[in-house]
Homo-oligomer: A and B are copies of this chain.
């Protein structure tokens, strides 16, 4: 951390900052500028809390230098991680697709979806059994009944199952039926839940929060990893901006940023990222070209009858068109040595 003093800070004020730094066992170093003095702190600042140095007289502001996460950082772990979900590898250069309906609505709907998903070439079936919804009156999911349908769909198709866990009490049950636990955008800073899945032996798909910075997102991953579970895959799903045409603003550059800052795999969800089925294909193509390790997409046998998010769900025909394109593009880029791995 670096402390920028006011231009008119006096020597006593500077000495007080130095003492405050030394009091917590760090070394202070003064840099004398033309307009103002700067005091730097040296030492491992990850394990102590930031001092409230901005509250000291004469201090203008402070600037953090070191990253606050470690296990999730590429600095600490230069080689890209590959997360193995019961045999399906995420992060090894191949494209992993997680597809399915937004919500599990019935066994019939799910099985029909799963067959479409499987036939199109995806490795994972997605589908919400526990649904976090803005309104308490909206459909909240089939809960444990939905989990059983997911397991049944896995049995019939061989697809891996990824599904959201919205509460600590459900982690054990969801773990019985799912191959991968999803932490949703609204729970990205539900730290209690992060710790709980951090103690699970299931890999975790961590969606980016509605308005989370990259730093907060990687710290959320750090919460999971610091509990022992290092099998974390990140999922960019759009961030909240002033633009209202799209449901969210898909931050495609997060793929490149994460590849630089972290060794964890990252996939992209163009369905939530845009909120419009029409935009899924171009954004899926873009994500693949940008180097994403995979995609999460909503598919529904009949989107207009979906109980949730139908406007962003692909029809089976559209899904097949997307799938055919993305695998061709990825293969071409691998063949031509155009793949983007770490940056």
Interchain CB contact under 8 A, A283 and B253: yes
Partner of A42, one of B34, B134, B137, B255: B34
* A52 engages B303 (CB within 8 Å): yes
- Choose, from A90-98, A121-129, A335-343, the stretch at the interface: A335-343
Encoded as 1 (CB less than 8 Å from any B CB) or 0, chain A from 196 to 238 comes to 0000000000000111011110010011001000000000000
Interface residues of A in 18-71 (CB under 8 A from B): 20, 29, 31-36, 38, 40, 42-44, 46-47, 49-56, 62-63, 65-66, 68-69
Q: From A261, which residue of chain B is reached at the shortest CB distance?
A: B245
The answer to whether the Cβ of A289 comes within 8 Å of any Cβ in the partner chain is: yes
In the complex, chain A residues 254-309 whose Cβ is within 8 Å of any chain B Cβ? 255-257, 259-261, 273-274, 276-279, 281-283, 285-291, 303-309
Let me know if A134 and B29 touch, CB within 8 A.
Answer: no
Least CB distance from A47 to B in Å reads 6
Asked if A35 contacts B44 (CB within 8 A), the reply is yes
Find out whether the CB atom of B49 lies under 8 angstroms from the CB atom of A307.
yes
Which of these, B63, B277, B286, B333, contacts A287 with CB under 8 Å? B286
Contact residue among B242, B252, B289 (Cβ-Cβ distance under 8 Å from A240) = B242
Task: Answer yes or no: A81 CB below 8 A from chain B CBs.
Answer: no
- Residues of the B chain whose Cβ atoms lie less than 8 Å from the Cβ of A310: 51-55
Residues in chain B near residue A249, CB distance under 8 A: 239, 241, 249, 251, 253
CB pair A168–B168 under 8 Å, yes or no, is yes
- Residues of A69-114 at the interface with B, using a CB-CB cut-off of 8 Å, are 69, 75
B311 contacts A55, C-beta separation under 8 Å: yes
B54 touches A311 (CB 8 A): yes
By beta carbon, the residue of chain B nearest A212 is B210
Kindly supply a per-residue 1/0 record for chain A positions 168-197, scoring 1 wherever the CB is within 8 Å of any chain B CB and 0 otherwise: 110000000000000000110111100000
- The 8 A CB mask of A318-343 against B (1 = contact, 0 = none) is 00000001001100110010101001
Chain B nearest CB, measured from A273 CB (Å):
7
| In the assembled complex, A250 has its CB within 8 A of some CB on chain B | yes
- Is A167 an interface residue when CB atoms closer than 8 A count as contact? yes
- A-B pairs, top 9 by smallest CB distance, nearest first, are A52-B310, A211-B211, A54-B311, A55-B303, A289-B289, A286-B286, A167-B192, A286-B290, A285-B289
Contact of A246 among B35, B243, B257 (CB under 8 A): B257
A283 partner residues in chain B, CB cutoff 8 A:
252-253, 256, 290
Determine if B245 and A215 form an interchain contact, defined as CB atoms under 8 angstroms apart.
Answer: yes
Chain B contacts for A343, CB-based, 8 A? 278-279, 282
7 A-B pairs (CB sep. < 8 Å):
A68-B137, A250-B251, A253-B283, A256-B274, A283-B290, A285-B333, A328-B332
Q: Which of B222, B239, B244, B340 contacts A285 (CB 8 A)?
A: B340
Contact present for B245 and A242 (CB under 8 Å): no
